[in-house]
Structure 1
Amino acid sequence: MKRILISIFLIVNSFSVYGATLSVSTSPGLVSHSVSLNPPINVFWNVGASGNPGVHTSTVGTFRALPGNTGASIGSTINTIITFNIPSSNCTEIADTIFDCISPPEIIRIPADVLAFAGANRLTTIYYNRTFTDGVSATGSVQINLNFTVVNPEKILSITRETLRFNDNSTVKFIKPNTPLTAVAELKFTGTGLLDAFWEYATPSSTTGRAIFIRMNSIRRYLGAGGRVILQSPPLPTDITGQYLVRLQILKTLSNPNGVEFTNDLPDGLPVLRYTIGRKSSGGETFILPLIKTQFPLNNAFLKVDTRFNWQSVKNAKAYQLELYLPDTHDRPTINPSTNVGDKPIDDSVINNKRPSTGLLIPATETSLALSTLSREALKRGKTYYWRIIAIGADGHVLTTSALKKIRTP
């Protein structure tokens, strides 16, 4: 009996000298969690500790598929530091140098990438874990049962706005061949759900007419609780001279393996960025061509029999092409009657994936033309069309284009 008492005394005494975290538990120990709402979770950490004085600290909270430190962590971590100081008001001495400590509530919101991983891997239970230590460590976990059913239809993920820019915040680029370039999308959204999207681009071989887009990487990300998200594209191709288009294609609807729905409230015309790769002369000089400057007709003018389209010449152009497009009704910008121009610049996305209603191709020796009778007859009466000029190089690639302008038919 004396040997047992001496052993207990030595164990307790060693804890009091060196300090140790004996046990970690949580309140509550189990939580049912609605993924579609993703509400915050309040967790109280209960730590059994020895040592006086002592400092018992957890520096990070991790999410895992199994309790404790078993297996790799999932997604983002919670980098809030929780510390128990002994003695303190949070710790009660229940035996000689043995303390029971309870933390203030830690407010946890499960990161979107953790929920996305759980949804993609059909995990209905995950664990939030913390390890406390003061020389000797112990780990505790909160079991979180995930419910992927949409509780409130109004909370279904809805993309309300998408804006695009290049990595330097510009929206139009004229660059040298093989210049590094990426695009950035900013999405504003409401609700919660799994975003399914992908970046795609069109090369100069198709951007003169109906653009043919080539798919790049896929994006699957869980978005929670409304707000905004920034998405960056992979490196964009810049090896071929001419004009490229790039956009983020958002899938209209989808369901993840557990039934979370996604809706897209954007209009059919998704935002599109354009960038032009300059070409090199025989002497190695790179020509970076700006947009073609058009002179007449003025924006939103009426098309007449004698209306002539005029523009400034483009170096190294071998031909020019005039194109007129009839946009969909919802694509038309608002017209300010006092200025007779659009309230905002016309986004090129209104003509992407559309064929010109009519147009003319002329040699580069001319920078002015009038529509032929046949071309005018292809236009509908009482409509507003968008028009632009395209400069074409010797190999058929687009050198540059003009900005879109409007013209009205009588």
Structure 2
Amino acid sequence: MMGSEILEKINVPLRVKIKPGRVTISENLLIPVRVLERVLAKNQTEFIYIREFSSISCKETVIIQIKITGEAEADFRIQRMELFFNNRQAKIIVPRNFKDLKAYAEIRFTGSGLFRGYWEVDGRILSYVQYYLVGPTIQVFVSPEIPSLPTFSTGVHIVRFVVENPKPGFELPSILYFVLPEETPKTLSIKLLSPSDNSSYFEIPQTFTWEPLSNSFIYLIQFYENPEGSPIFSAYTRNASYNIPEEIAYKYFKPGNRYFWRVDGFDKEGRLLGESAVWSFNLKEEQSFVPEEIIVVFEEEKFSPEKSRKLMERYHLEELRTYSLKTLPLHLIIFHTKEDVLSLVKLLSEEPDIFLSQPNFIFHTAMDPLVPYQTIYNVFDLKEIHQAYRGKGIKVAIIDTGIDVGHEDLKDRIKFFTNFINKEPYKSEIHGTAVAGILAASINNLGIIGVAPEAELFSLRACRAISPNSHIGECYSESIILALDEALHQKVKIINMSFGGSKKDPLISKIIDKGSSQGVIFVAPIKNKNTFPASHPSVIAVGGVDEHGNPFPSKEIISNAQILIPAVKLLTTFPNNHYNFLSGPSLASAAVSGFIALILEKNSILPSQFFVKTYPIDLCILEKEIFRVFNCSFHPL
């Protein structure tokens, strides 16, 4: 209330605590913004809140006086502090007995009050600071000239600005300066290696590497949002590489931002030996479709170049690429547009001659590098099954990034390979090669053995690695549609699609329907709860478990899986005749595609369990029923 005017009535539940001889009633009061606006509109800053408590035996009224204040009238509080040296960075190198070294503490605060603190160097108090601050504003404190920051002792020194009043609600930062002996030679240059400068990723690169520096005892790697500011994270390592812990990656690095990094090397006495240039990398936000591109589909018999020309004139489109599908009587055109893609899709869908219009959706592969090991080969006792069945003669299409067709464990399995990524040649990449190894690596006494080591693989490159050494692939509606069309044209029996996206693609769905009606089996991993194409009714949705049988990556994500299979710590093929341990739903999908190849070699058709989506298939029971193998040790929780 304000005076006699009721601003608003609030009816919220109360919390009641009952103890012997005492009852405590409390509530959390959230004042609506509209109430504050009504008060301020009348040039007032004060109002009251009245709460009436009533029961059979008593009635109480509580009145609370409320005052609206600005930041200047708010509690005296430190919001943020940044420390830096003369060079505006959190690190500086100076010669011995350098006289002009200064440290700065930039403090953002609210309210007003007596500020108390002190400068500290290497744990020793340098000087006290006491100042009455009137906010809200930013105050910069400078380290004193007398006594100055000591530079007579060589090595590393740590500076802190300790706040005693008001007590900050965050951990106080610290900065470093390095004092060099007068006879120290000029620092050397450290060459950064990876990730490459100004590269882009959908997730933080796991490993940062540089060329080792002779006589370097330890390295300091620092990450920045602004190369002129303080680092957001830094770490020491004795190796010429650093792996960012997962919890650090999630805490400090966010999609849509650019980050900078640099490395310094030191000897055993803490003397700086070398420093690197500053490199950057970008964390991209995951886009659901290709910007400025739209797919328009005509029925082949209704298409003509004249209709395409009229569309371009009417909607200001530019034709980029055009295709006629081999397995459906459809003609695709990829157009470039400057208009809003989703709005244009809606407009084009109303055109009478257009069969379908949609964005060029983006899909991603999903896999994580790991070092411990577990193998599907032993868990499912594949050695016993391979005595009679190896997937011989079963054609399997892998729609993925490029498979290394010359790999010693894969070259005899590859029957066909081609590329559908626009303006790129076919190339060997990590994700597709890893999927192929799990599915069908040959028995040749050289490396690993796949689930179906005599299956015939068709490598259809519809995804591209987001960087040369990345296991993450990016795929597009356009390339996936063309790859599916080619797979059906090649009359494959199984199509492994180890990718997923958040949007249902209508044209991909139609091609899957077409293939399913011809008896083709589609397999895809569940990447999140509504992953497409795993969510399509004709696709076998695969979920993963870890080495202990627990859901991977989570119970919620794999709740819609038709089949569960180990998805972590699996040894598989890498390009250039290499091998590595990987995890991810993509590998689970590949393993299931391999199992299906073994089943089809024996029975020609799949058991009905594969087409029921109400509960996951028990692979051990399936092995016993089909192959009479009894040593399966896979037991998901």
TM norm. shorter chain > 0.5: no
Q: From the two aligned structures, give the one with the greater helix fraction.
A: 2
Q: From the two aligned structures, give the one with the greater strand fraction.
A: 1
TM-score (norm 1): 0.37
- Relative CO higher for 1 or 2, CA cutoff 8 Å, sep ≥ 6? 1
